[in-house]
Amino acid sequence: MSVVSFKGGVTVSLGDHLATSSHFDRVFKDGMALVERTAAYLDGAGRKQAKALSAGLGVVYATESMRLTTRLLEIAAWLLVRRSLKEGEISVEEARVKRRCIKLATIGRPSHVKGFAELPKTLGSLIEESFALNDRIVRLDKALDISSAPASTTAADNVVHLQMYKLEQAFGALARH
């Protein structure tokens, strides 16, 4: 949901402001750095550590590393779409279409999985970092959602549109549950 404020009688989308701010740049940099660190670990030290694990723990390692890789691919796709939109390389409509293909979710943590605590510490740390980043991205995605934000340009009109938008969001959320 885009949050709006009024500045001189004109609606300002805080989501749009956030998307063009240094905050997004920092999230982008952090996200891509995590992708690179994870790839380097899984191709290097992680591969060696996995070979040293028992067969049962090796399956847990393989499963969790695949889940980690999938989660990071979705995050990277989201970051790249948002950056392309920010840079003017794609339109808002193109970004919406691409965003629908990305599966961001607040998914369950694997700490309950038998043997998870026995995995190499570096893998566990990367998994936890990826969940923290995923949660951050999900919050940003909600703030940046421009699919149904009010489009009015005067403060008087915005009050009505903002209330209508809030009602749509509230009842839409109830209808989805």
Domains of the chain from N-terminus onward: 15-149 (1.10.8.930)
- Structural tokens at position 110: 């694997």
Mean pLDDT of the chain: 81
Instruction: Indicate the pLDDT class of residue 1, thresholds 50, 70 and 90.
Output: very low
C-alpha 166/C-alpha 25 separation (Å) is 29
Tens-place pLDDT, residues 128-175: 999 999 999 998 888 877 544 444 444 444 566 666 666 666 665 444
Q: Is 152 left (phi over 0), alpha (psi -120 to 50) or beta?
A: beta
Determine the pLDDT at residue 38. 98
Closest CA to 37 of 138, 97, 125: 125
Tens-place pLDDT, residues 106-133: 667 787 888 999 999 999 999 999 999 9
C-alpha 17/C-alpha 1 separation (Å) is 14
Determine the pLDDT at residue 23. 84
pTM: 0.71
DSSP 42-70: HHTHHHHHHHTS-HHHHHHHHHHHHHHHH
Name the packing angle between helices 121-144 and 55-86 (round to 10°): 30
> What SS3 state is found at 81?
helix
Q: Is it the case that residue 53 has pLDDT exceeding 50?
A: yes
Determine the pLDDT at residue 11. 54
User: How much is the average pLDDT of 83-111?
Assistant: 87
Determine the pLDDT at residue 22. 81
Q: Is it the case that residue 39 has pLDDT exceeding 80?
A: yes
- Give kind and range of the element (H or E) at residue 102: none
> What SS3 state is found at 30?
helix
* Burial state string for 137-152 with b = 16 or more CB within 10 A and e = fewer than 16: bbebeebbebeebbeb
Determine the pLDDT at residue 155. 47
User: How much is the average pLDDT of 72-100?
Assistant: 93
Instruction: Indicate the pLDDT class of residue 54, thresholds 50, 70 and 90.
Output: very high
